[in-house]
Amino acid sequence: MTDKEILERLIDLHKIDEQIVKYEDEVSNMKERIKNIEEKIKEERRIFEEKKKKLDFFKKKKLELELEIKQRESEIKQKDSQISMIKTNEAYKALQLEIKTIRSEIEKFEDEILLIMEEEYREMKHFAEQENLLKDEEKKFKNEIEEFNKKIAEKENEINIKIEKRKEMMKGIDRGWLERYERIRSGKRLAMASIEVNADGDGVCSGCRFAIRPQAVIEVKKKTKILTCDNCARIWYIEEVNNIMKV
């Protein structure tokens, strides 16, 4: 097998590997986005639950006021039971006044409870509305995740097809070069780098920006020799613009 034939087959393999790398990157991007969406859902739910704790305040306040009322009710009971033991009219009137004062205190607490209940009702309504919005958003996010998962499955399927295809292609490639190719690929994801050529014929390795002398550029272009980058070890090739890819 000539160097030209080997190089051409390696380029074909490389074209497949480029697509695999592209799909792998797309998959990992989508997985990253799913992770971000999931974190966002969790965070929004957490913030909501935190705000919702405000409702506990109303319950607590109501309990406190109800306790105050109970205490006063038992005070009234106690004073009522004293009435029969009272001897003078004045003492009777004084006791009645005390009871009346306590009753008005109870009324004040009851009014307060009513106000709290009204506010609690408003807040509960507000939170119910907020929760509905949040649920809508969660649903939207979940649909997005589902879409991503579908696309990921598609891409993974395509990757598997490409892997099968490259296995077939490997059979026709010079063993020594194939092993070298696979070794570079395992470390750098892509084993080949195209040479970018400027007007003066000087080249640059697209893999690492290493400068390449014109003589090497010519050899790679003619495919008379298989050359690798001294700097990044990738196998060089020159992209042929009008080449119909055999992929």
- Does 205 participate in binding Zn ion (rule CB under 5 A)? yes
We find the least distance from the C-beta atom of residue 21 to Zn ion, in angstroms, to be 16
Nearest CA among 234, 238, 223, 240 for reference residue 6: 223
We find the least distance from the C-beta atom of residue 198 to Zn ion, in angstroms, to be 16
- Does 203 participate in binding Zn ion (rule CB under 5 A)? no
* Rounded (to 5) percent helix, strand, coil in the chain: 75, 5, 20
Of the residues 95, 116, 208, 227, which one makes contact with Zn ion according to CB under 5 A: 208
Distance CA 128, CA 95 (A): 49
Of the residues 34, 207, 226, 237, which one makes contact with Zn ion according to CB under 5 A: 207
What stretches of 119-197 adopt beta strand conformation (E)? 192-197
- Does 231 participate in binding Zn ion (rule CB under 5 A)? yes
Q: Using the 8-state DSSP alphabet, how is residue 2 labeled?
A: -
We find the least distance from the C-beta atom of residue 230 to Zn ion, in angstroms, to be 8
Distance CA 182, CA 166 (A): 12
- Does 227 participate in binding Zn ion (rule CB under 5 A)? no
- Does 190 participate in binding Zn ion (rule CB under 5 A)? no
Q: Which residues bind Zn ion (CB under 5 A)?
A: 205, 207-208, 210, 229, 231-232
